[in-house]
Amino acid sequence: MIEGLTSSTLLEKHPRLEDIMCSLDTVGKMPSGVSGEIRQAVALARRFNESVARPYALELDRKMHEDPTYVPWDIVKEINRWGFYTNWIPKIYGGRGWNLGSLIPVVEELCSECAGIGNLMGVEYFGMSVLFAGWNTRITDKVCRDVVAGEKSGEPCLIAGLVTEPGAGTDAEETELLHKARVRCLARKVDGGYVVNGTKVFISNGHVSTWHISTAFEDTSRPADTMMCFAVRNDAKGFVYGRMEKKMGQKGCPASEIIFEDCFIPDEDVIINAEQIKKLKHSPRETAQQVIDFVVTLTRPGVGAMGAGVARGAFQEALAFARETEVRGKLLVNHEWAQCLLAEMYANAALARLTYMECNHITGLYGMAALLNLKPMYYYMKMMPTALLDRVMPFANRLAAVQQAFRKIIMDRQKEEDALRASGWASLSKFAATDLGIKNCHLAVELMGEAGIRHDMRAEKFLRDSKLLQIYEGTNQLNRLNLFKCLVAPAAPEALVFEE
Amino acid sequence: MKADVSEELKLLDEMARDFAAKELVDEREEHDRFPFAPLYDSVLSKALEVGFFAVMLPEEAGGSAEPVSALCLVLDEICQADASLGATIFTNALAQEIIRQAGGASLLAEMASEDGSFQQSLIAFPSYNNPGEVDHCARAARDAGGYELSGDVPYVVLGGVVNRALLPAKTEGPDGYSFFLVDLKSQGVEVSEPVLSLGMHSCPAVDLALGGVIGTLVGTEGEGSAYYEAAVDRLSVAAAAMAAGTMKGSFTGAFEYSKEREQGGRHIVDWSGLRIILADMAVKARAADMLVEKAAGAVDREEPGWQQQSRAAALVVGGMATDATTDGIQALGGYGYMKDYPQEKRFRDAKQIQSLLGITHMRRLEFIQRVVDGEAAW
Ligand SMILES: Cc1cc2nc3c(=O)[nH]c(=O)nc-3n(C[C@H](O)[C@H](O)[C@H](O)COP(=O)(O)OP(=O)(O)OC[C@H]3O[C@@H](n4cnc5c(N)ncnc54)[C@H](O)[C@@H]3O)c2cc1C
């Protein structure tokens, strides 16, 4: 036998066991209630697919082909009505507080029918994660409760996340690049708040969102050191909608240009800025990276789940086609080569799923909502009556002390290696699962021949929709580099990333 | 692809390039909006005028009787700008070639003597399906007067645009199918709305439902498959040329963009991560160029194994183009996914080019079948 001490030295060697087999740690630590929640959530998503997404996906896509300026309120209202926009808002902010671990499998489900509709739902939580990442409990409480009210009233109140600028896409995802970036979104400090000028582009759900959670820079010549983050409503003075992009796919989900023209942001809507960062342990640049990482460790496996979704959806369409189409006088599904291909497609979807589930475990253990997954906390929150929380939390969340406590625990105490593991795996899932997703869409189109290119047979829509997955939340190239930075470079100290 | 082409072909090539620059580039996005915007009739008329629909057609049928290399040059240039017109040229050429293979030169000559509009001159054809694979054939009944066709033929390319189609149908008796020319304006032809497709929006297809429509038999009954395969032998390389052109357009777009766009404090072309992607695209375009030139020459000179060269080129270049055009979007990041740049269109078009002439796996099986049957592997 190897002694305990030796054994842990061995396992600490690169690649560290806990970096490459994260589920091992999670299995014991995860509250067992989570698996039941995942089952329930997935069942709900399947029902939604059957009764809403499947019957409407093609029609919506076609409508957007015809009129790219159509704003898809009809389907947004439907998603709202089903509760998808609040199920995963923590109870302390007035939501149903479903475990975050069940969100990503739901994203796969929805995207296995329509990635555009999946994005309309999923992107809400991108906006929300930008909101959460600064750990400003006061504003988070305010915005989330608006979303909840929007569900009750039937008038959706959604949240968009505004990071990308016309001149800074990849650069906005990584502080090593951000410090050289050509950003233009300037937040100038004035009495009682900021005046913001600049343009954000490609903002998913922009035209259907009420709250916009945006980054801006107090000094655009030093963006990585002066990043700030604020919340603004779309009816604010100086908040201007630009164009809605004409996209190849995921047409149902608008991508909007948003322009700030001397838009005044009162101090109370500032989520995090230099002054607040001063009270934290990390430097402004480190904090900016931490905020970005909090967001992307949640959202990148989400895009990975979209990859698994389209991989599965394309597989399902191909299988259905093979079961009903004769090729050279024999059902396609009975050609051996087609069976091999379908098996490959099944495996691609499974592999994509494994990456995001592994990531899901890591985010659960080390991500920004890790606290909620500690068993006592999990069961405490589960048992807490919402009515009681709703009476206490809006006040508690407003207290500076509460906010400071959260920031201390979550931001200051985060261990470097945990942050790297989470961010690295998020990137792994993002690029690996989406590459597998688009692969399956290609295979489906090929297998189906002439039927594969027809809109009414769905495979071509999967292909168009899936291509976006390799681009947003950082291009797949940026995500490869981030994986290198987080998981490879620590074992290769001479490696310099983004300094070629 | 132009190393040793004749002066005459060089002129043709230049003409195609000029045409593409003048007629296709500026309105590309608008053209691609069909069926939600009008079809570019005037472009089709001009393409007819300059002879793009008769490159390989025999002289007695009013064509230029050029070799396949000539068609490949035209398709390459046109598809660099907009593959939709390439698909129109290809579909018509394929229909003409099948008729020629069936000994129907006189039919072609007859058509040439008509009014001369593109509606009258071009032939619609289901160019994405091998009728011997997925059996999308009508039924043809013979009576005293001739043949009457009934049943469905889906995805007939140009079916909603022109007046005549070449359609596969099965007759009583022979196992195989036969080809018929059908007047699409005649009684009993039901033409669907344009089918919305992945790519090639301005080379649209329709589903046809035939109810006792008069058809003119082309060649011999039951021999359709032989004509089809012989035409595919010759024209596979033309599909490869379309893929090659599309991929060249994609590379040019990606390369130009990456020299302008800055991220991380430098032009993105200066990150070796992106350079490798551009290199892959350029290498593929170069290799495609070589393959098409070689295979087209082999077809023209009927070198031993030319049929397999032509088919191999279509399979390989078709696949390379789908890879290269996905990279072509990727190089532009989010902008590549938007209609403002033609990269997303090239990606869709390239994938659709790969689907020409039937399921790729079946074409691979056909290739190896010939080797099994004794043909040299290379
Ligand atoms: C439909 C859609 C929805 C979106 N939704 C949102 C949203 O809701 N909110 C939001 O903030 N953003 C959103 N985005 C923006 C998205 O995150 C960016 O498009 C993405 O980060 C890429 O940035 P870019 O488009 O500017 O490409 P660029 O950064 O310009 O990249 C162009 C190319 O250069 C490469 N490149 C760049 N830098 C390097 C480098 N250092 N090394 C090697 N290669 C490099 C890239 O990989 C890419 O291939 C969305 C985008 C799209 C298309």
pLDDT band, very low/low/confident/very high, at A373 (cuts 50, 70, 90): confident
Distance from CA of A219 to the nearest CA of B (A): 17
User: Of A36-40, A352-356, A487-491, B172-176, where does mean pLDDT reach its minimum?
Assistant: B172-176
Q: What's the pLDDT at B3?
A: 59
pLDDT at B152 exceeding the cut of 90: yes
For ligand 1, atom 12, the nearest C-alpha belongs to A164
User: Which residue's entry shows tokens 């439907």?
Assistant: A78
Q: Do B330 and A475 meet the contact criterion of CB atoms below 8 Å apart?
A: yes
Distance CA A431, CA A448 (A): 26
How many Å lie between the centroid of ligand 1 and the Cα of residue A273? 24
Contacts of A220 in chain B (CB under 8 A): none
Q: Is B176 on the interface with A (CB under 8 A)?
A: no
pLDDT at A23 exceeding the cut of 70: yes
> Would you call A231 helix, strand, or coil by DSSP?
strand
Q: Which helix (H) or strand (E) holds B189?
A: strand B189-191
Distance CA A69, CA A98 (A): 34
Which of B147, B165, B145, B148 is CA-nearest to residue B156?
B165
Of B129, B339, B365, the CB nearest to A449: B129
Of A167, A325, A468, the CB nearest to B134: A325
Q: Ligand 1: list residues with CB < 6 Å.
A: A 123, 161-164, 169-170, 173, 177, 202-204, 247, 255, 468, 471-475, 477-478, 498; B 261, 263-264, 268, 271, 273-274, 330-335, 337
Distance CA B265, CA A123 (A): 29
pLDDT at A108 exceeding the cut of 80: yes
Q: Which helix (H) or strand (E) holds A103?
A: helix A103-111
Which ligand 1 atom sits nearest the alpha carbon of residue A474? 21
Distance CA A121, CA A296 (A): 17
Of A455, A463, A471, the CB nearest to B351: A463
Lookup: tokens for A415 = 């261990």
Distance from CA of B155 to the nearest CA of A (A): 8
Which ligand 1 atom sits nearest the alpha carbon of residue B331? 49
Arithmetic mean of pLDDT over chain A: 95
Name the burial class of residue A46, with classes exposed (0-12), middle (13-18) and buried (19+) by CB atoms within 10 angstroms of its CB: middle
Contact A171 B263 (CB under 8 A): yes
Distance CA A379, CA A347 (A): 36
Distance CA A453, CA B193 (A): 16
Which of A304, A302, A272 is CA-nearest to residue A410?
A272
Which of B58, B76, B59, B67 is CA-nearest to residue B13?
B76
Q: Is B333 on the interface with A (CB under 8 A)?
A: yes
Alpha carbon separation from B28 to B43, B90, B249 (Å, rounded): 11, 19, 13
Query: How far is Cα of residue B299 from the mean position of the Cα atoms in its chain?
Result: 17
Contact B333 A475 (CB under 8 A): yes
CA atoms within 13 A on the CB side of A172: 27
What is the arithmetic mean of pLDDT over A448-452?
98
Query: How far is Cα of residue A91 from the mean position of the Cα atoms in its chain?
Result: 20
Q: Do A404 and A136 meet the contact criterion of CB atoms below 8 Å apart?
A: no
Ramachandran angles phi, psi of A58, nearest 5°: -70, -40
Distance from CA of A241 to the nearest CA of B (A): 18
pLDDT at B1 exceeding the cut of 60: no
Contacts of A341 in chain B (CB under 8 A): 361
Q: Give the number of other CB atoms < 10 A from CB of residue B63.
A: 20
Q: Do A464 and A438 meet the contact criterion of CB atoms below 8 Å apart?
A: no
Name A216's bridge partners.
A228
pLDDT at A3 exceeding the cut of 90: no
pTM: 0.97
- DSSP characters over A169-183: SGGGG-HHHHTT---
> Would you call B205 helix, strand, or coil by DSSP?
strand
> Would you call B32 helix, strand, or coil by DSSP?
coil
Contact A477 B330 (CB under 8 A): yes
Which of B280, B337, B198 is CA-nearest to residue A470?
B337
Residues within 8 A of A (CB atoms), B 4-23 only: none
Instruction: Name the residue type at position A400.
Output: A
User: Which residue's entry shows tokens 């899901």?
Assistant: A360
pLDDT at A253 exceeding the cut of 70: yes
User: Which residue's entry shows tokens 């240009």?
Assistant: A257
Lookup: tokens for B110 = 């007859």
pLDDT band, very low/low/confident/very high, at A473 (cuts 50, 70, 90): very high
How many Å lie between the centroid of ligand 1 and the Cα of residue B257? 14
Name A258's bridge partners.
A200, A241
Q: Is B262 on the interface with A (CB under 8 A)?
A: yes
Of A202, A460, A498, the CB nearest to B197: A460
Contact B359 A447 (CB under 8 A): yes
Contact B272 A500 (CB under 8 A): yes
Which ligand 1 atom sits nearest the alpha carbon of residue A162? 11
Query: How far is Cα of residue A371 from the mean position of the Cα atoms in its chain?
Result: 19
User: Which residue's entry shows tokens 């582009």?
Assistant: A201
pLDDT at B145 exceeding the cut of 90: no
> Would you call B155 helix, strand, or coil by DSSP?
strand
Distance CA B39, CA B20 (A): 17
Contacts of A449 in chain B (CB under 8 A): 128-129, 133-134, 355, 358-359, 362
Q: What's the pLDDT at A74?
A: 97
Arithmetic mean of pLDDT over chain B: 96
How many Å lie between the centroid of ligand 1 and the Cα of residue A475? 6
The per-residue pLDDT for range B307-352, each reduced to its tens digit, is 999 999 999 999 999 999 999 999 999 999 999 999 999 999 999 9
Q: What's the pLDDT at B113?
A: 79
pLDDT at B4 exceeding the cut of 80: no
Signed CA dihedral, B313, B314, B319, B320: sign only: positive
Q: What's the pLDDT at B184?
A: 98
Contact A450 B154 (CB under 8 A): yes
Q: What's the pLDDT at A113?
A: 98
Burial A298-335 (b: 16+ CB within 10 A, else e): bbbbbbbbbbbbbbbbbbbbbbebbeebebeeeebbeb
Lookup: tokens for B17 = 């390039």
Q: Which helix (H) or strand (E) holds B349?
A: helix B343-354
Q: What's the pLDDT at A307?
A: 98
Contact A438 B326 (CB under 8 A): yes
> Would you call A197 helix, strand, or coil by DSSP?
strand
Contacts of B260 (CB under 8 A, 6+ apart): B267
What is the arithmetic mean of pLDDT over A207-231?
97
Contact B365 A338 (CB under 8 A): no
pLDDT band, very low/low/confident/very high, at B103 (cuts 50, 70, 90): very high
Which ligand 1 atom sits nearest the alpha carbon of residue B337? 53
What is the arithmetic mean of pLDDT over A215-228?
97
Instruction: Name the residue type at position A258.
Output: I
Of B263, B277, B348, the CB nearest to A170: B263
Structure-model confidence comparison of residues A379 and A192, the more confident one: A192
Distance from CA of A91 to the nearest CA of B (A): 35
Name the burial class of residue B33, with classes exposed (0-12), middle (13-18) and buried (19+) by CB atoms within 10 angstroms of its CB: middle
How long, in residues, is chain B? 378
What is the arithmetic mean of pLDDT over B100-111?
92
Q: What's the pLDDT at A306?
A: 98
Contacts of B126 in chain A (CB under 8 A): 450
User: Of A354-358, B2-6, B68-72, B373-377, where does mean pLDDT reach its minimum?
Assistant: B2-6
Distance CA A431, CA B175 (A): 50
Peptide bond into A376 cis (omega under 30): no
How many Å lie between the centroid of ligand 1 and the Cα of residue A301? 17
> Would you call A398 helix, strand, or coil by DSSP?
coil
Name B214's bridge partners.
B148
Distance CA A306, CA A318 (A): 18
Mutate to test the pocket of ligand 1, among B258, B262, B263, B271 (most ligand atoms within 8 A of CB): B263
Which of B244, B248, B319, B310 is CA-nearest to residue B282?
B248
Q: Is B323 on the interface with A (CB under 8 A)?
A: no
pLDDT band, very low/low/confident/very high, at B8 (cuts 50, 70, 90): confident
Contact B134 A450 (CB under 8 A): yes
Residue to test with chain A: of B351, B353, B363, B366, most A Cβ within 10 A: B351
Q: Do B353 and B237 meet the contact criterion of CB atoms below 8 Å apart?
A: no
Q: Do B176 and B200 meet the contact criterion of CB atoms below 8 Å apart?
A: no
